[in-house]
Every structure is written in structure tokens, then in C-alpha cells.
Structure 1
Amino acid sequence: MTKQTEHKPYQPWVEHYPDNIDYYAEIDTTPVPARIDQAVKDHASRVALDFLGAETTYAELGDQIERMAGALQKELGIKKGDRIALLLPNTPFFPVMYYAALKVGASIVNCNPLYTHSELVHILKNSDADILVTTDLKLTLEKAEKLMQEGMADKLIVSHFPNALPTLKKFLFKIFKGKDLASLTDEKIKQKHLNWHDLLEKNLNADPVQIDKDDMAVLQFTGGTTGMPKAAVLTHGNIAANLTQIDLWGVDLFRPGATLAAVLPFFHIFAMTVCMNTPLTSGVKVAMLPRYERKSLLEMINRTKVSILPAVPTLSHALATAPEREKYDLSSLKIGISGGAALPNETKIAFAKATGGRIAEGYGLTETSPVLCCSPLYAPNKDNSIGMPLPGTDVQFVDVEDPTKFVGPGERGELVAKGPQVMPGYLDNDEANKESFINGYFRTGDVGYVDEEGHIYIVDRIKDIIICSGFNVYPRTIEDALYHHDDVDECNVIGVEDEYRGEAPIAFVKRVEGSNLTEEELNDFIKKYLSKIEMPREIIFKSELPKTLVGKLSKNELRDEYEKLKKN
């Protein structure tokens, strides 16, 4: 198959697009603050947020947003272009501050509360945040105080975590979990500290601010493919476009009456867009958990009748295979949306069996706000496919060695993307911007191809490809083979140095509880799925596999672990 000498967009999905979805539909880029205001008007009496049983209506949410926006403007002097960092777990405080900040023209800087101090310093120093917002949980407040001591922000806003709870739980929390709360100890920081409740009690209204689609809305830090975390500039237009695209793809999924489970953390781009912005601009109820706990999630699904569950594959797998799942009614679950990592077919099957619903795999990156592609929600899915590009999104493939050349239909290459959800670039990083865009397309760093019906397949990350005796070996291919075995619960494959082949695959496997599966038995099983060159040099069984802070299986930690094992 010859390579394309000039780019002529190959878009086979157009002729095979799902019914009732227009690939060429107009993409609304009305900024999120205006959409939230409209949702508050249209759904005032509906429940917007459920936090462990404490409900907030759309009218109440809108009132809190307005009062916090007024306080930001008139008490703290926040103006268009300022930056507000959020160091918060999933609580009602998060969306209130997020939307209040955007309403007055400020930009959000999302911070992971589980990051180390040095990682948070990097984010705050590079974002030049004016205000840091946190809650008085010990996990977050102690980190926030230390950051303030180092001058990482001018002011600190602290919410009282128990205030987010239902009355009885608030009372019980203070009695039995009071040790999880903290207070500021530094007198100088106390002077820079403002109480969340006091700010709302000012009852101030915000003055209107003109928000344009090209204005920066969010600074989202990402590690990308290499190097230190970079700050992706996501505009109001980027974020709004992706909400529109997701809503078009979902047809009637995000509509009043639906309930979405927000167990993924809002500070992550997937959750920010799919678990918070999309449902709350559509009149959907968002049921939140401050962190993932399997039992808590099962109880919440049973109690609130969750119909939409966005999750990473490991979470969906844990839910679908939970030994206690039959104690709970999961029949309300209609759609699972999987993102963040490759979705094993076995997880799709287990989810359908446990819930009666179906799970669709999506694909995207921080730099694309994030969703580029998704499997059809109401039509047959192809195994191992990430689906088709969302409306208004162009996905193409370029030569891995020479990204200036587009590869032909069906050929493997690096996925590049163009669309209204793609960021304009990284903040103050000309070198990264030059490397990240080619021919007007954003380079994802993922290798894949498109079939004749327009279904997109991701083979692996470029950096994860294993070169064995000159041949490309893809970890995902080996992982798919391992997942075919009923006794494999989780698996992850990395490449390591090999004297004979240059590199060789090593598989790490977590067995199903109670299994005594051996390396010899598993090797014999996967031989029918893999070529000789793809067979792992070694299979290492572990009781748990390391995961990232949002629950994705982590190859980096396994690489570090293997290096330490080799040295010992």
C-alpha cells in the first residue's frame, strides 16, 4: 500500500456514522458560564448535585455560584485573566468555585490533591495562580498551607468539609472522623486565609464580564509523552465545543431525569468534561463520591439509580466483578463510558452481564478537552476499537518516522487530530508547541489505524512500543491475549532491555482471587494468540498492580520496579 504524497482527508466514518448523528453538525461554542446560567433557569427545581445524600438543586447551585462570583470580584479583586487554583476532592465546593471563577473571567488551574509537594509547586509556580482554594481535610489543608508559606499564591480560600454533608453525616463525621480535619497553624497564612462560608454570606452579585471563545478557561497540566508536566491552554471554545460534541454523540443520553456517577476526580480532564460540565449544562443529576471505594460506589448506584457511569477500565472491571455486586440493584446503569486507557473486551462483557447495560470506549487527551473519538452508544461496537471521531473532529494517521507524511488507509501510523476541541498550545512553551503540531494537526503520540468503515483502532503509545529483533511489538496485543484467560484479573506489559533481541516484553499479571494459575499454563494459553516474537520473556505474578492517581494501570511504576529487581 503506497503512502499518500499529499494529504487528502480520508474519512470513511462519514458514510457509516450512527443514525441520528450528523458528523457535520454545527458545533456550539457558547462558553460554559452562560450554559450553566441557562441550565439553572431551565431546571431550577431539579437536583443538580448529590453528595453522599446531601442534595443541591440547580437553583441553589446557581445562587452559590453567583454569590461566590460576586465575592471573587468585590472582596478579592479577581478580574478577567486572573488564575484560581483548585486543590479539592469531589465535593459541591468544586463546581461552585469552578463556575464562579469562569463567570468572572478567571482561569482554573486544576491540582491533584494526591500530588507531592514538589509537583504542586511546579504547577502553581508555572501557572502563576492568584488564589488557592482548598478544604479543611488534613490531606489538602496541610499541603495548601505549605504552598502558601512558599508564596505560591496570594490568598487561600478554605471550605469546611463537613458542611457538604447531610445533617446526620455532618454530626457523625465530626465525632468519628474529626481527626481527618485540620486547622491552619501559621499565623501569617491565617491572615491570607478567607473562609468559604463567610464569602458566600456577603451576598454579593457579580458584575457581567464578556467571555469570548478564545479566552483561556483552564490550565490543565499534563505530562504528555515525555518530560515535566506542561500546561495545556484550554479555551472556553475548546471546552464548550467538546460538551456539544459529546452531547451530539450521546443523542438523548444527557437529559433531565438521568443520573451520572462522578467517582472520577473533577481535577482530571476526563471527569471535568464528562462527569461535571456535560451533565450540569444539560440538567442531569450528578451523584458524587469524594474518592473511589467499591462499596460506596455500589451503594450510591443502588441509592440514586445511576444511569451513566464514566470510569477508567480498572474501575469498571472492579465494579462488574465485585463479589458483593449481587447485593445491590445495578439495573439502572444503562451506559458506561470508558476512558483513560484501553478497554479490554472482557470488561465490556462483564459490565453487560452485571448491569444489563453497555459500555462504550472513548478516547482523548488533556490537550483535546479531552474527547476525540467514542464507540457508538446505541449501535454495535467493534472489538478493540475506540469508535469514530466525534462530530467536527478530523482524525488522520502519519508516518511514525516522518510525521510530515500521511499514511494510506489501513496503514499503521501516529494518530493526529484537528477539531474545535483541540487546544491552541501549551503555555509559554514554543518548543513543545512546535513538536506537538504537524500540518495543522495535533500529534497524540498514539499509534493506530482506521478501517474501511471508519472505526479507529489504537495499537499503543509510541513510547511503549517494544522493538524486538527489529520488529514492532505492541504491549496492548499481548495484554489482550492475557485477558482472554479467565484467571487473569489485571495485566500490564512493558519492554525491557534484552541482550539477544534488543528489547523483550515482560508481563505483570494479577490473578483472579483464589487462582493458582502458573506461568507455564499461561504461556501455553497465549501461544494461540501471539507470534513467537510477541511472547513475553517472563510473566511476573503480583497481588496488586500499580496504578496512577486516577486508577489507570501504570507502566512507569512497573519499569522502575523491574529495574530495582534487576539490580538486586
Structure 2
Amino acid sequence: MQVSVVPPSTEGTAGEAPLLRPRLLTDLLDATVARHPDWTAIDFLGRTWSYGEIGALVERAARGLQDQGLKPGDRFGLCLPNSPYFVILYFAVLRIGGIVVNFNPLYVERELEHQIKDSGTRMMAVPDLVQIHGKVLNVAETSKLDRIIVCPMTGILPWALGLGFRFLKRKDHAQVPDDARHVAWVDLIASDRAHTPVARNPDDIAVLQYTGGTTGVPKGAMLTHANLAANSAQMVVHVGDHPDVQERTLGVLPMFHVFALTTVLNYSVDSGAEMILLPRFDLKQMLKTIARTHPTQFFGVPTIYVAINGADEAALAGFKSIRCCISGGAPLPFEVREAFERRTGVMVVEGYGLSEASPILACNPLQGPVKDNSTGPAFPDTVIEIRDLDDPHRVLAQGERGEVCARGPQVMKGYWRNETATDAVFVDGALRTGDVGYVDEDGYLFLVDRIKDVILCSGFNVYPRVIEDAAYQHPAVKEAIAIGVPDTYRGQAPKLFLVFRDGMSATKEELSDFLHDRINKIEMPKEIEIRTSLPKTLIGKLSRKDLVAEEAAKAKPS
């Protein structure tokens, strides 16, 4: 059975083409700047910028990037926390035909270097923070990074916060070399000359969003302007368009993550919403920000909802202003949803997607029936197919369980320079998600299992092979298996099982220290269990499945 959901009306204002028509991402910004130049675009820790101001800064940055040699098709890395810099450079790169490559600032040097080389990133923007700039600088030479655009945090903070950061956080400030590789933000935007127009098309690649897929080897999902703009338009249809009322989006999810890229950035700009940006998730800071700004839209991963559920009752009063609340990135446990709704008085609905789909494929309605443990109906103009696990060319009937596959304008072009992986992830033109599920009689999608071994940790994909490969680098480790175990805060957390070589050993603390420089914080095992042997299949292969079953049995109430 195929399930297709098409909105009742996708027409724009009089004289416009349908809302889901192919668009350039910069069209989203240009339209809002033209309609509402005085509306607040960004609130960053209390300092604000209007859409008119952001539009002007995008133009200056575009000119500056062209002067630095960025050409159409060149890859530009954003290794930034949520900030005005991210928004400005994102649209500036796209304005001149460049391709944005999103980098997680928590990446260790090995991960940064791989992604820079694989994508061919020529230039990268970083904050002037030693923990981020230092890592990028260390790999710049070997990865052939031409330019590092240095963005000063004091330049975007309110006056008092900036003063405190300048003098009280000196150790966090990067010592930036005075060389040809480094470009100061103030110099990048110095020229008031217009950028040189370049030919662009909605089918051009806009973003390389790296994802590990089934193997754990990161691959760049090629998301076009049309893909990302379509997912934004689908959000507008799903949430409801109120063109004369400005919404306020709380942006605590990192915009280098594809869920936030669409919901916090693209959709907010498309609908003219104010983006209330926070550089990282800190519960106390977030609750204070909600009380100060009264957001109307909140998008989070289950980890954040778990944290909110643990807050004092008095701190939750600010949630009353929120009318749209969506969870994504990982399954939202029913108990977490129920507790959040009871304590805040705000309904939260669950959606589903993946990086390769820009990312949203389905979501429960904000007005209408929400089904427990379902990710909701397909998004507008999206087709969900359930295909046979043994014969993926066979589409199953309604209610049967199989691999969830999808078609829609938000589905990626393919993987960057990886035809083999691209061929493997499509079947008969449909995107294979690697998840097992079924669609009920009302068109609601239910997920029941995962084909992939991926661990969903705070909305991020963690791949067991990455952890295992790092563990095998320790001289005492003979065998290693990493699996995901339930975690009340993060949804899932990695657990690492090890067997030592004969006559060798190490403490858990020593192993954690060893892994610290080889994998990032999200990938770090919550627990390390040392055993004398690990389960194996009949042909002698390490059996991850048996360990997953063991942990599941232990988690069941007696």
C-alpha cells in the first residue's frame, strides 16, 4: 500500500505559484526581508537583529566570500554554534552558489579531517573559541583548508555579556595567527559593494549533510535548494500559515543538525518567525530564555523533553505561550510525552525523518488525532511505502510490517561522490530508511524496529563501529562490541563490551581516557563492561544481537 498525503491547499498569495514549487533557499530570506524588514529576525541572548539587518549582512558576507575566492560549487564549512554568524554565512554561501557543509563543533580532529577531505571543503567558519578553532587549525594543513573565517563571540553578545566574556573567559579565547589562512569577520564584511550575481537553480546542491548510514562511515547527503525549501514549505502547511502574525521559534537544537536546519532556520525564515537562538542546550538558561521571550514554537529531541520534565514547576510557567511543539530525532517515549504535557499544559507531537529526507517525512497533526507511539501521517506531497524485507521490490499492503521507504520533493539527490551507497539506499526510486514499520488504516506510520545498528543518542546517530574501531586501537583489547542501551535522559546511550588479550588488562578509567581523544562526547560509552568472552554466531562472528537481547532482558521489570 502507498500512503500519500497532499494538503488541501498549497497555494500562496494571489498570483503566486503553489507553495511547494521548487525554490532557491535564498528566496525564503528575500521574500521575508521584502515583506517584513523591521520584524525581528534573531534574538541571541538578548541582542536582536531585524530581517532587514540580516539581509544587509548576508549581502556583505556574500561579497566578502567572493573576494576570498569562493566560487559556485565550492564547499564552505560551518563549524559554529547557533548564532547570527551561522544564519548570515549560510545564506551568504548559498547566495553565490556555494555549498554549505555542516560540521559538528564537538567533532574530534579525526572526524573533522575526514569530513573536510571527503567534501573538499575549501573554507570554514569557526568561533574564536580555542576548543573549536584549535581543532580546525590543527587539521587545516593536512586537509588543505584554504581559509578559516574567525567569528568573534563578543561581537554578537549584548554589551554586558560581551564585556564579561572578554575579561572573565580569557582562557577560552583562541590565539588567532596573523596569516593568509585566517580572515577576521570584520574584514569579511568590510566591503559595501554588491556581490557578483551567479547562475543558480533549485536543483543545485545547497547542503552536504553528513550521516553515517548503515556502515558508520560518514557520507554526505546531497540536499538541494529544492529539497530543503520543500521541507520548509511542508512545515508551513503542517503548522499553518499566519502571514500577518509573527511566530517566535526557540532555537536550542543545533542548526548543524538537519532537524534544526529545517525547523529552526529554514522554516522560521520562510514564515518570517523570530529565531530565539541559544548557543547550546543548558536547561537553566533555556528556561530563563523562555520566560523572557515567550516563544510560540518549540522543536526538540526527547532528551530535552526529559530534562524539562525534571525542572521545578515554577520554571515551566513560560511554556504557556507555546502553540506548536514537535519532537523528532529519536522515538519519544509515551511516558515522557505524557509527563511533559501534564506539567506544561502544552501538547507535543512526534515526527519522523532522516538526514536523507531534509529531514521530515511524517508527523502527527497539531490539530487532529494524535496516535500513541505513532509518528503520524506522511508530510504533504510525501509517499510512504512499506516494502518487503526479503524482496524490497514488493510493496506490502496496509498493516503489514516491512522496511519504511519514501518518496517526496524533500528526498535527497544522493550521496556525495558515492554512487555505490546511493544505489544501495534507493529501491525503484524510493528512499530506503532502514527502519521497520507499518501504516494503519488512517495512514499513520508506526515504527517497530531498526534494520540499522545505529544508536539514537539525544537525537544524534551514533554508530557502534566507530566506537569499536577506537577501542581496537588499545593494545589490550582483543574483542569489542558496542550496542545501544535504554537511557532515561538521552533515549539511548552506547555501552561497550570488551575482552582483553591474554596477559593484558586496563581499568575502565584508563579505557575511557583512551577513548576520549578518539571519539566525540556523544559517542563515549555510558558503560564499559569487561568480559572473559563475547557471544558469537555459529560461524564465529561476534554477535551484537545476543548482547542486545541480554540487555533487553535485564531492562524488563521482574
TM-score normalised by structure 1 residue count: 0.79
Alpha-carbon distance in structure 2 between the residues aligned to 1:441 and 1:557: 34
Corresponding residue number in structure 1 for 2:550: none
Secondary structure class of the residue paired with 2:124: strand
The number of equivalent residue pairs is 475
Task: Give yes or no for contact 2:7–2:237 (8 Å, CA) kept in 1.
Answer: no
Secondary structure class of the residue paired with 2:292: helix
- Which one of 451, 460, 473 corresponds to residue 462 of structure 1? 451
Q: Residues 507 and 85 of structure 1: is their aligned pair in 2 closer, same or farther, counting only changes over 3 Å?
A: closer
Corresponding residue number in structure 2 for 1:141: 133
Task: Give yes or no for contact 2:313–2:343 (8 Å, CA) kept in 1.
Answer: no
Q: Residues 322 and 253 of structure 1: is their aligned pair in 2 closer, same or farther, counting only changes over 3 Å?
A: farther
Matched, 1:341 2:330: yes
Corresponding residue number in structure 2 for 1:191: 180
Letter in 2 for 1:417: A
Distance apart, 1:463 and its partner CA: 2.9
Alpha-carbon distance in structure 2 between the residues aligned to 1:46 and 1:566: 64
Alpha-carbon distance in structure 1 between the residues aligned to 2:278 and 2:19: 35
Corresponding residue number in structure 2 for 1:69: 62
* Structure 1 ranges of 4+ moved more than 6 A: 17-22
Task: Give yes or no for contact 1:254–1:279 (8 Å, CA) kept in 2.
Answer: no
Letter in 2 for 1:92: P
Corresponding residue number in structure 1 for 2:168: 176
Matched, 1:306 2:295: yes
Secondary structure class of the residue paired with 1:350: helix
Corresponding residue number in structure 2 for 1:266: 255
Task: Give yes or no for contact 1:312–1:341 (8 Å, CA) kept in 2.
Answer: yes
Matched, 1:218 2:211: no
Alpha-carbon distance in structure 2 between the residues aligned to 1:507 and 1:339: 19
Alpha-carbon distance in structure 1 between the residues aligned to 2:195 and 2:10: 38
Distance apart, 1:509 and its partner CA: 5.5
Letter in 2 for 1:124: I
Letter in 2 for 1:311: G
Q: Residues 300 and 411 of structure 1: is their aligned pair in 2 closer, same or farther, counting only changes over 3 Å?
A: same
Letter in 1 for 2:136: A
Task: Give yes or no for contact 2:426–2:432 (8 Å, CA) kept in 1.
Answer: yes
Matched, 1:131 2:120: no
Distance apart, 1:209 and its partner CA: 2.2
Corresponding residue number in structure 1 for 2:411: 422
Alpha-carbon distance in structure 2 between the residues aligned to 1:259 and 1:354: 22
Letter in 2 for 1:71: G
Alpha-carbon distance in structure 2 between the residues aligned to 1:55 and 1:339: 28
Alpha-carbon distance in structure 1 between the residues aligned to 2:160 and 2:442: 55
Corresponding residue number in structure 2 for 1:382: 371
Corresponding residue number in structure 2 for 1:237: 226
Corresponding residue number in structure 1 for 2:537: none
Q: Residues 145 and 562 of structure 1: is their aligned pair in 2 closer, same or farther, counting only changes over 3 Å?
A: closer
Corresponding residue number in structure 1 for 2:90: 98
Letter in 2 for 1:67: R
Task: Give yes or no for contact 2:2–2:386 (8 Å, CA) kept in 1.
Answer: no
Q: Residues 255 and 99 of structure 1: is their aligned pair in 2 closer, same or farther, counting only changes over 3 Å?
A: farther
Distance apart, 1:256 and its partner CA: 3.9
Alpha-carbon distance in structure 1 between the residues aligned to 2:245 and 2:175: 40
Corresponding residue number in structure 1 for 2:157: 165
Distance apart, 1:424 and its partner CA: 1.5
Matched, 1:408 2:401: no
Alpha-carbon distance in structure 1 between the residues aligned to 2:311 and 2:399: 39
Task: Deviation per CA, 1:527-566: give whole Å up to 9, x if none.
Answer: xxxxxxxxxxxxxxxxxxxxxxxxxx98x766x9455466
Distance apart, 1:249 and its partner CA: 1.0
Corresponding residue number in structure 1 for 2:388: 399
Secondary structure class of the residue paired with 2:377: strand
Decide which moves more: 342-351 or 440-449.
342-351
Task: Give yes or no for contact 1:266–1:272 (8 Å, CA) kept in 2.
Answer: yes
Secondary structure class of the residue paired with 2:189: helix
Corresponding residue number in structure 1 for 2:75: 83
Letter in 2 for 1:237: A
Alpha-carbon distance in structure 2 between the residues aligned to 1:445 and 1:201: 48
Distance apart, 1:506 and its partner CA: 9.2
Corresponding residue number in structure 2 for 1:521: none
Distance apart, 1:219 and its partner CA: 0.7
Distance apart, 1:567 and its partner CA: 6.0
Distance apart, 1:357 and its partner CA: 1.6
Task: Give yes or no for contact 2:64–2:190 (8 Å, CA) kept in 1.
Answer: no
Alpha-carbon distance in structure 1 between the residues aligned to 2:334 and 2:242: 23
Matched, 1:155 2:147: yes
Task: Give yes or no for contact 1:21–1:248 (8 Å, CA) kept in 2.
Answer: yes
Q: Residues 507 and 143 of structure 1: is their aligned pair in 2 closer, same or farther, counting only changes over 3 Å?
A: closer
Alpha-carbon distance in structure 2 between the residues aligned to 1:506 and 1:419: 31
- Which one of 404, 417, 422 corresponds to residue 433 of structure 1? 422
Alpha-carbon distance in structure 1 between the residues aligned to 2:436 and 2:86: 35
Distance apart, 1:411 and its partner CA: 0.6
Distance apart, 1:399 and its partner CA: 1.1
Letter in 1 for 2:92: A
Corresponding residue number in structure 1 for 2:107: 115
Alpha-carbon distance in structure 2 between the residues aligned to 1:364 and 1:157: 32
Letter in 2 for 1:235: T
Secondary structure class of the residue paired with 2:423: helix
Q: Residues 255 and 316 of structure 1: is their aligned pair in 2 closer, same or farther, counting only changes over 3 Å?
A: farther
Corresponding residue number in structure 1 for 2:45: 52
Q: Residues 444 and 327 of structure 1: is their aligned pair in 2 closer, same or farther, counting only changes over 3 Å?
A: closer
Secondary structure class of the residue paired with 1:343: coil
Task: Deviation per CA, 1:482-532: give whole Å up to 9, x if none.
Answer: xxxxxxxxxx9x9xxxxxxxx9x9964559xxxxxxxxxxxxxxxxxxxxx
Task: Give yes or no for contact 1:224–1:230 (8 Å, CA) kept in 2.
Answer: yes
Task: Give yes or no for contact 1:84–1:130 (8 Å, CA) kept in 2.
Answer: yes
Alpha-carbon distance in structure 2 between the residues aligned to 1:19 and 1:191: 55
Distance apart, 1:324 and its partner CA: 5.7
Matched, 1:36 2:29: yes
Alpha-carbon distance in structure 1 between the residues aligned to 2:262 and 2:364: 17
Alpha-carbon distance in structure 2 between the residues aligned to 1:327 and 1:388: 30
Task: Deviation per CA, 1:352-391: give whole Å up to 9, x if none.
Answer: 2232221111111100111110100111200001001111
Q: What is the percentage of aligned positions where both structures have the same residue?
A: 39
Distance apart, 1:56 and its partner CA: 0.6
- Which one of 321, 329, 353 corresponds to residue 310 of structure 2? 321
Alpha-carbon distance in structure 2 between the residues aligned to 1:145 and 1:328: 44
Task: Give yes or no for contact 1:29–1:244 (8 Å, CA) kept in 2.
Answer: no
Distance apart, 1:328 and its partner CA: 4.5
Alpha-carbon distance in structure 1 between the residues aligned to 2:410 and 2:123: 27
Letter in 1 for 2:405: V
Task: Give yes or no for contact 2:362–2:379 (8 Å, CA) kept in 1.
Answer: yes
Q: Residues 299 and 212 of structure 1: is their aligned pair in 2 closer, same or farther, counting only changes over 3 Å?
A: same
Alpha-carbon distance in structure 2 between the residues aligned to 1:566 and 1:319: 41
Q: Residues 564 and 211 of structure 1: is their aligned pair in 2 closer, same or farther, counting only changes over 3 Å?
A: farther
Q: Residues 564 and 164 of structure 1: is their aligned pair in 2 closer, same or farther, counting only changes over 3 Å?
A: farther
Letter in 1 for 2:167: I
Distance apart, 1:281 and its partner CA: 2.0
Corresponding residue number in structure 2 for 1:293: 282
Alpha-carbon distance in structure 2 between the residues aligned to 1:254 and 1:352: 28
Task: Give yes or no for contact 2:287–2:316 (8 Å, CA) kept in 1.
Answer: no
Alpha-carbon distance in structure 2 between the residues aligned to 1:379 and 1:19: 15
Secondary structure class of the residue paired with 1:329: helix
Task: Deviation per CA, 1:321-341: give whole Å up to 9, x if none.
Answer: 313654653211222110000
Q: Residues 341 and 277 of structure 1: is their aligned pair in 2 closer, same or farther, counting only changes over 3 Å?
A: same
Task: Deviation per CA, 1:417-470: give whole Å up to 9, x if none.
Answer: 0111101110111111111010110100000000011011111211359xxxxx
Alpha-carbon distance in structure 1 between the residues aligned to 2:294 and 2:7: 27
Alpha-carbon distance in structure 2 between the residues aligned to 1:509 and 1:38: 43
